[in-house]
Amino acid sequence: MKVAIIGQGYVGLTISAFAAEYFEVVGFDTSQKIVEQLNSGFSHIEGVESALLTKWIKAGRYRATAQGSEISDCEIVVIAVPTPLNLDRKPDLTFIDAACKTIGENLKKPVLVINESTSFPGTLRNFIKPAIERYSNNSVEHLYAISPERVDPGRGDYNQKNTPRLYAGLNSEATEKTREFYSKFCDVLVAVSSPEVAEAAKLFENTFRQVNIALVNEFAQIAHALGISVYETLDAANTKPYGFMKFTPSAGVGGHCIPVDPTYLAAVAEEHGAPATFIRRANEVNLEMSEYIVTRVTADNGGNLQGKRVLVVGVAYKPNVADVRETAAELVIEHLRSQGAVVSWHDEVVGNWKGEHSAPLEGADIAVVVTKHDSVDEKKILASAPYVFDTTGKVSGVRGL
Ligand SMILES: NC(=O)c1ccc[n+]([C@@H]2O[C@H](COP(=O)([O-])OP(=O)(O)OC[C@H]3O[C@@H](n4cnc5c(N)ncnc54)[C@H](O)[C@@H]3O)[C@@H](O)[C@H]2O)c1
């Protein structure tokens, strides 16, 4: 059976690499550069080994393409394209719409369309299906299902195979075919009663993280004001064997999911007359962490950062990945620069970012640790500046949250 995966990023390429063991996979991506890289056997996604990709290419089980016509003989099409926020911080479904256009214009016989992109409840039923029908002039009746992606890039213990996967079709045939597809490479499949439940569950999972991270970030500020250690307090609370889950403070949230998905939930809630004030506030608390951190650093350094050489250590949105999407480091750097600091950053995992290169881990007046990759030596951080502020809880004996 031939499967098309629309979008060859973190989600799409990861799924492609798993599915290629059982299906012939066509990876469709609008980026010609990515397509060329992939067809040469180079994987740009952490967690998908280039060697595995090369193996599937040689076996004729995988190829990438930017030509929509190449998906025309597929029987299953998986959508894995970005679902960002627009400039007004509202859900932006333009990538989904473009994927629907590719599907509608190129698939002339009925297939199973599965959406893995994260979006608000109702997207499959009220946006994807009508869009594909419109682009195909209602000439074919496809089956439609959702199976939201839960992959956590950089994670060693849970992957596509052992992370339980939710799924639901618009009808029972779509549900059953979706189960058959994923059962080849996923151990645990969880059917839910409607696509809207699956879509909402995905958003709620990430909203749960956003809200709890905001709560612990607020608590870090309270603990500092009270003169107690936030980490010791959290460890103490965590001795309770039930009813508590430990989250740790940070400079904020980053990546494609946690800062974005709750806003999708809030937007659809408000459209339906249910104000999502708590979700909105959590987002604000996390965004405000960067300012709080810079205020603390400024206060510790004589109330003035003018001309000070500040090194931000770690700009990826989380440890051990090169992903800088929505990274909290960006706001920390902005606030430091607005105080007149001369800011550089060190992150050899990221390397280059926004036209700047990773600076050496040394010679600063102030170091602010935003993300600590395992490869970064704690002793080198401590030696990089006479004053170190740690937002990660991983550098001992210095000022921090
Ligand atoms: N990255 C994660 O950890 C993660 C986890 C769970 C869910 N998700 C969700 O999965 C979806 C995809 O995220 P991602 O992280 O894989 O994004 P990504 O940015 O890594 O990859 C998206 C890919 O889609 C391509 N693309 C854009 N428009 C296209 C189109 N019209 N047709 C074909 N290709 C197109 C881009 O060139 C890019 O290669 C999003 O909805 C995201 O919220 C992501």
364-378 pLDDT, tens digit per residue, is 999 999 999 999 999
The CATH number of whichever domain residue 218 belongs to comes to: 3.40.50.720
Measure the CA–CA gap between 74 and 142, rounded to whole angstroms. Answer: 12
**At residue 154, does pLDDT exceed 80?**
no
Give the residue numbers spanning the domain of 109.
2-192
Report d(CA 4, CA 358) in Å as an integer. 37
Ligand 1 neighbourhood includes 163 CB (under 6 angstroms): no
301 and 182 assigned to the same domain: no
Model confidence at 245, in pLDDT bands (50, 70, 90)?
very high
Domains of the chain: total: 2
199 located within any domain? no
Question: Averaged over 10-15, what is the pLDDT?
Answer: 94
For the entire predicted model, the pTM comes to 0.92
- 318 Cβ inside 6 Å of ligand 1: no
pLDDT-derived band at 88, boundaries 50, 70, 90: confident
**Residue 197: inside a domain:** no
Q: In terms of domains, do 266 and 308 share one?
A: yes
For a substitution probing ligand 1, which of 102, 106, 149 has the most ligand atoms within 8 Å of its CB?
149
Q: 347 and 269 in one domain?
A: yes
In a domain, 280, yes or no: yes
pLDDT computed for residue 159 by the predictor = 87
309 in a structural domain: yes
With respect to residue 198, please indicate whether it lies within any of the assigned structural domains. no
pLDDT for 283 equals: 94
Residue 144 maps to a domain: yes
Residue 138 has pLDDT above 90, yes or no: no
Q: Atom 21 of ligand 1 has which residue's CA nearest to it?
A: 9
**Are 382 and 361 within 8 A, CB to CB?**
no
Which residue puts its alpha carbon closest to atom 1 of ligand 1? 10
Q: What is the pLDDT of residue 156?
A: 82
pLDDT at 153 over 80: no
Structure tokens at 236: 């103490």
CA 285 to mean position of chain CA atoms: 19
Same domain, 25 and 98: yes
Residue 13 Cα, ligand 1 centroid: separation in angstroms? Answer: 9
